[in-house]
Chain A
Amino acid sequence: MEDQRKVSFAEALTKGDLFVKLSLLWMGAGYARRKQYVKAAIMTVLELAVILFTVNFAMQYIPKFGTLGTVSPVRSFNVDTMKNEFNDYDNSFQILLFSLFSFVVWAAFVAVWVKNIMDVYRLQLMEEAGEHINSFKEDLVSFKEEKFHITLLTLPVLGVVVFTVIPILLLILVAFTNYDQNHMPPSGLFNWVGFNNFISLFGGGGLTVSFGYAFVRVLGWTLVWSFFATITTYVGGILLSLLLNSKKTRLPKLWRTLFIATIAVPQFVSLLLVRNFFSNGGIVNTICANIGLTGFLQKIGLVSTSYIPFLSAPGWAHVMIILINIWIGVPYQMLIATGVLMNLPTEQVESAKVDGAKPFQIFRKITMPYMLFVTGSALVTDFVKNINNFNVIYLLTENVYTTTNQVMANSQAKEVDLLVTWLFRLTQDYYNYKMASVIGIVVFVICAVFTLIAFNRMIRGDKEGTYQ
């Protein structure tokens, strides 16, 4: 069995024997002394690899991290090869990326190094106490026993670090540079500008006042949208699931299949279709004009054009987007709710019925609390997902909705934009990476304040055992 005694790094340094201290330099020393030769070899190879990495790779980039490069590309004619050649120029983005990568590798290595010292000290204590020291084979077996979580988590965590953590850190760094259309590597260099981008977003800096205005507008709609999109589909999904699973439903399988058919169609098909369905010259407008609805709306002043601007005027578009999202979201939530409700403790419902509880009371006192327990944390993630719900907004409004608000247009924003669609347009069409990064960070801070409070309230007191 693995020894569970607690040791600290300081204790390991002061009370460790020669080989523990030697492990500071040669990471395999402590293991070699306790006859764990395979582990010693692994640690030695790891140490060598990190040293090679540092010398051959990291040192090319880290020294330039402070300036992000100073040498611009210059093309010159080489007389020997008769070709145009570039000088050995700096690429600001590569310097930023590879420096960051080196920092992460070093940080991980330091963590392993510290843990290594503690581990070999623990081995020393075990030997002194005359305890059994694991063979390499026994160490391996422990990875499907008490250390199974390490086996499970290593790859997923690694994936997240490389494809989420490092990119996020990278763009946080970009928020403090002037990386935009005028400073694009490899042809141009960018450098550090401190908090200038944040100041422009909050209305400072003269020329960019419109950014602050657009930001408040877009943020407001983002929050309204997320709130309604989450609540409507969540409640709608549970109600639809209860409706379909009721004993009164005839052919429940058929109905469920029909609803699922609507979400089986990929979103880019169904949403692009719906957008043409509701377009200014589309089929719904034709029908509305034929039955006189358009005329009626013109009379009461809701519509001033010859068509109903379902997705092309503020107000109309906002409502339509939330309605269309109900269409696309409720069957999903119904699927999830059906799966969860299958585990609903039936005794509680039965005894409540015997006591004469009405269906609504059962829903409010038993079904909803149970649903909230199982999917409550998912509700919070849904809210955040909706803040970042790119598909619905982009597919419904891109190339359809044009803003008439000049100040918004100046910041490349629209009234129906979420912060993410705005961010996307800034990067894809205008190469404004610095502002996109700043917006991203601000979104994160605002989301974090909202949702961490909600999330902690939901899982506070570790109620995980309640329904087991």
Chain B
Amino acid sequence: MKKIKENRTSTIVLHNILIGVLAFIWLVPIIWLLCTSFSTYDGMNTSTFFPEQWSISHYVRLFQPDSVAQFPRWFLNTFVIACANCVISTLFILMVAYATSVMRFPMRKPLMNMAVILNLFPGMLAMIAVYFTLKTFNLTNNYLGLILVYSASSGLGYLIAKGFFDTVPRALCESARIDGCSEARIFFQMILPLSRPIVVYTVISSFLVPWMDFVYAKMILNAGISSQYTVAVGLYRMLDKSLINTYFTQFCAGGVLVSIPISALFVIMQKFYVEGVTGGAVKG
């Protein structure tokens, strides 16, 4: 009786209409971004939602670098930094999460409490000092400095991964230990494959850091040399008050081009979520 009522067509339709309306609200600004990027007009169009005339001229211009806009170069810079950060941060986060979740050692609780306390400090505060330190060692305005800024302290972001490792059945680890498995093998060959969703989440978020962030990049790359910028700093500069009327549409085109590879990545990663850990393992 109940089952029939639950699956009535009208509720299904309402349910899907609700999702559709929400999705539409979420997509309006993105649609505007797409439309504006195909406009022929350089500045912002404030009179109509859709551009009056369509063209791809601003995409073409992105690949003809001038002194302000050097999009291909920015893209490469960000990509290199993102890859380095992705590898280092993912390793750091998973290592810390595993050590604090699965292993037991005397310093565990003190270290975790320290991490909580450190996370309470504004990151900006540390950054100001980091900037001066990097400047002392001549590491500002280059890749290495920025990679260090993004990845060195990433171990502090271990809590989400730890929360996930906590739900992996401990019996699995115990039986592996009894079979003479080393801790290192338990980590790499058991826990990591079982925790694919959280590994994927960590990979996504660390790869995205350099693409999303502009403030640290702006602090470190402060020499004003356009060829050193990351995409974030470069595109941000395009919206300076003196430049916005010439570059707004190019900014939109650049935003679209940056978003395409990242969205593609997201969709690939998404599959891991759906597969999740439902495949193997003894479930709790």
Whether, in the assembled complex, A388 has its beta carbon less than 8 Å from a beta carbon of chain B, the answer is yes
- Interface pair A167/B126, CB less than 8 Å apart: yes
Interface residues of A in 195-252 (CB under 8 A from B): 240, 243-244, 246-250
List residues of B (125-142) whose CB comes within 8 Å of A's CBs: 125-130, 132-133, 136
Per-residue interface assignment for chain A, residues 355 to 388, with 1 indicating a CB less than 8 Å from any chain B CB and 0 otherwise: 0100000000000000000111110010010011
B167 near A268 with CB under 8 A, answer no
B residues near A419, Cβ cutoff 8 Å: 122
With both chains docked as a complex, state the minimum distance between the C-beta of B8 and any C-beta of chain A, in angstroms.
10
Q: Do A153 and B119 have beta carbons less than 8 Å apart?
A: no
Known contacts A149-B105, A163-B153, A283-B49: A144-B267 contact under CB 8 Å: no
Whether B169 lies near A339 (C-beta < 8 A) is no
Q: Which residues of A contact B (CB under 8 A)?
A: 93-94, 97, 144-146, 148-149, 151-153, 155-157, 159-160, 162-168, 170-171, 174, 240, 243-244, 246-250, 253, 255-270, 272-274, 276-277, 281-283, 285-287, 327, 331, 335-336, 338-340, 342-343, 345, 356, 374-378, 381, 384, 387-388, 390-391, 394, 399, 419-420, 423-424, 427-428, 433, 436-437, 440, 443-444, 447-448, 451-452, 455, 464-465, 467-468
Interface of B is mostly: helix
In-complex Cβ contact of B152 among A163, A240, A274, A375 (8 A): A163
CA distance A391 to B213 in the complex (A): 8
Q: Are B239 and A265 in contact (CB under 8 A)?
A: no
Chain B residue contacts of A248, Cβ below 8 A = 7, 11-12, 15-16
Residue of chain A at shortest CB distance from B95: A152
Cα of A419 to Cα of B284 in the assembled complex, Å: 43
Q: Is the CB of B30 within 8 A of A262?
A: yes
B159 x A378 contact (CB < 8 A): yes
Which of A144, A253, A427 contacts B128, CB < 8 Å? Answer: A427
Kindly state the separation between the CA atoms of A170 and B128 in the bound complex, as whole angstroms.
10
Cβ contact within 8 Å between A381 and B103: no
Cα–Cα, bound, A327→B26 (Å) = 7
B251: which A residues are within 8 A, CB to CB?
269, 272
Cβ contacts under 8 Å, A148 to chain B = 99, 103, 182-184, 187
Question: Known: A94-B136, A146-B183. Is A160-B155 also a contact (CB below 8 A)?
Answer: yes
Q: Judge whether B16 and A250 touch: CB under 8 Å.
A: yes
The smallest beta-carbon distance between A305 and chain B, in angstroms, is 16
Taken residue by residue from 63 to 103, chain B's Cβ proximity to chain A (1 for < 8 Å, 0 otherwise) reads as 00000000000000000000000000000100110110101
Minimum Cβ distance to chain B for residue A115 (Å): 12
